[in-house]
Amino acid sequence: MRMSKAEKAARIQAVLDELHPEVPVPLDHADPYSLLIAVLLSAQTTDARVNLVTPGLFALADTPQAMARASVEEILEEIRTCGLAPSKAKNIHALSRQLLEHHDGEVPRTFEDLEALPGVGHKTASVVMAQAFDVPAFPVDTHIHRLAARWGLSDGKNVEKTERDLKRVFPADAWNRLHLQIIYFGREHCPARSHVLDDCPICSWAATARRKAEERKKAPKRATARDQ
């Protein structure tokens, strides 16, 4: 019997709660400002890389006041190994000045004000709202976008639609936890390439037969004894 999206979402949530009952925030931070900077740095950069560079960056400046006093060149020197480092250095400096000029040096607590900051898009704002201020949000990264499509919860057209679709099928009080659970699940159980959906704790039953067939066609052929 075919499950509805709501039934499928409930079963997925149960599996994620069992596999990932604890979901620490993967980016090291001490307060909303350091989280905001870390999330900004994480674009096109791994969390592990961000966690390597932020100790040096925050030793240079760990408040908007200190970051605004630092030069863009000094900031860039600390984050050089991150993707898009030059533009990120400029944005970190500019948003720190904007926090001082418009928000009394505090990280704002609304999506609108966060998204008005240099370099801060909807996903970054969503992570800060969820993880710094515990406001229900569902930030969609590449892992979540990919898995929502595999599981038939969204059509994968774009991240904005994926976010809307996931918010529709999961309860709001679980969004912040599920965002992290799906990321951890994607990293540990559900890779982008060479994934055998039939062996996956969720894809094995949540993905459609058509989806499984499509991914089998994309996967590289396994070596056989004759190939050795």
**What is the chain's Cα-based Rg?**
20
Catalytic residue among 17, 28, 47, 141: 141
Q: What is the mean pLDDT of the chain?
A: 94
CB 70 within 8 A of CB 60: yes
Catalytic residue status for 141: yes
Tokens of residue 213, six digits:
């067939």
| Intra-chain end-to-end CA distance of the chain, in Å | 43
Position 79, amino acid = I
Q: Report the predicted TM-score, pTM, of the whole model to 2 decimal places.
A: 0.91
Catalytic residue status for 123: yes
Note the CATH number of domain 32-131. 1.10.340.30
The region that residue 220 occupies, defined by phi over 0 for left and psi between -120 and 50 for alpha, beta otherwise, is beta
CB 50 within 8 A of CB 82: yes
Instruction: Determine what percent of the chain is predicted with pLDDT higher than 90.
Output: 89
pLDDT digits (tens, 9 = 90+) for 77-135: 999 999 999 999 999 999 999 999 999 999 999 999 999 999 999 999 999 999 999 99
Tokens of residue 117, six digits:
């900051």
- CATH tag for 5-22+140-217 (out of 1.10.1670.10, 3.40.50.1980, 1.10.730.10, 1.10.10.60): 1.10.1670.10
Catalytic residue among 8, 88, 123, 165: 123
Distances in whole angstroms, Cα of residue 29 to Cα of each of 129, 208, 216? 14, 39, 40
How many CB atoms neighbour CB 124 within 10 A? 22
Domain boundaries defined on the chain: 5-22+140-217, 32-131
With the C-alpha atoms ordered 87, 88, 93, 96, is the resulting torsion angle positive or negative? Answer: positive
At 220, the pLDDT band (50, 70, 90 cuts) reads low
pLDDT digits (tens, 9 = 90+) for 23-59: 999 999 999 999 999 999 999 999 999 999 999 999 9
